Amino acid sequence: MNWLIIVSNPNDENAQLVQDFLSGKFGAESSKVLLYPNISREELFDVCNKVLVASHFIILDSERLHKLNDYNFILGLIRGRQCPAFIFEGRPYIRRYESLEKELRGSSYFTCFSHLNELTNLIEKNFEKYRRDDEQKNALASLFANGIPFTSDCFAQYIAKDNTEICETFFKAGMLMNARTSNGIPLLCIATRNDCISKVKWLLENGADIDAISSDRGYSPVMDAVWRKNFDITKYLISKGADLSFVSSDGQPILVLAVGNGNVDIVKILLENGADPDIKDSMGMSAREYALLFKKKPMIELMEKFPKK
């Protein structure tokens, strides 16, 4: 965050109070610029440059600043950048500035105050929100600067690549962990299908739905892990409470899928965590029956430890 304090008096005591408040309360850095009558073009150019890089503005003694033509220009810059500005009027505004004050008060980016403690109290109450909003804006700018579209499809590509830095930037920019690709595939399924256990953990830690169902296969993430024969991800998702009773859109119970893939360790961990070997698939066959049909002895022996209910 980059706080800029705009004053009309170089000896304004409130400016130091505000700077001490920002640094002492939040460790936030701030700088100060001066607007005054007959300011040189070079100095005004320097003020404009600082306005163009600041993220938050505190304007002190706005009644005096209103008398300056350059002040309206600076307000326009701030409004165009859509940055929060906190305006301390010093005392109730007088009638000849009423139209401008009404415009400021009607903007979602400007907040006017008659007392300095009201200004600092609002900042203190909402500082964490201001920080998050600023982080989101910077993250979006970083993506765009690198030619990366802010879309779930693009995010999915970086999840598949296990690119932590870009994935974190998407998250800071506001991408939802439960977003889906244009094909209806949950991001958690994308991570699972690409064997990215680090991204599976990261997505779950940040709120992804562990049982989200993909639109293409009708699988949940744990079913995708079984399909990939990925024991580690299967085990992790089970440990986090993945639903093992779910049947896919094509009528496959998870144990039928596991038997078909032939991974004994995955069949074992599914059975140990409550998966039912006797749920029928769309063909009327259960995992137990498939194991017997295809003479998968190790799996038959495992299932014998879990008799029919």
Mean confidence (pLDDT) of the chain: 92
| Residue reference for tokens 């002190």 | 60
pLDDT for the residue 91: 57
What are the two backbone dihedrals, phi and then psi, of residue 162, each rounded to the nearest 5 degrees? 60, 40
Entry pTM:
0.84
**b/e per residue, 207-230, with b = 16+ CB within 10 A?**
ebebebbbeebebbbbbbbbbbeb
Residue-level pLDDT at 98: 44
Handedness of CA 51, 53, 57, 58 (dihedral sign): negative
| pLDDT single digits (tens) 141-163 | 999 999 999 999 999 999 999 99
Residues 106-130: tens digit of each pLDDT: 557 888 888 899 999 999 999 999 9
User: Considering the chain, what percentage of its residues have pLDDT values greater than 70?
Assistant: 94
* pLDDT, position 107: 59
pLDDT digits (tens, 9 = 90+) for 249-302: 999 999 999 999 999 999 999 999 999 999 999 999 999 999 999 999 999 999
CA dist 305 and 284 (Å) reads: 22
C-alpha span between 224 and 190 (Å, rounded): 9
- Let me know if 109 is exposed, middle or buried by CB neighbors in 10 A (0-12, 13-18, 19+): middle
Whether pLDDT at 97 is above 90: no
CB 157 within 8 A of CB 196: no
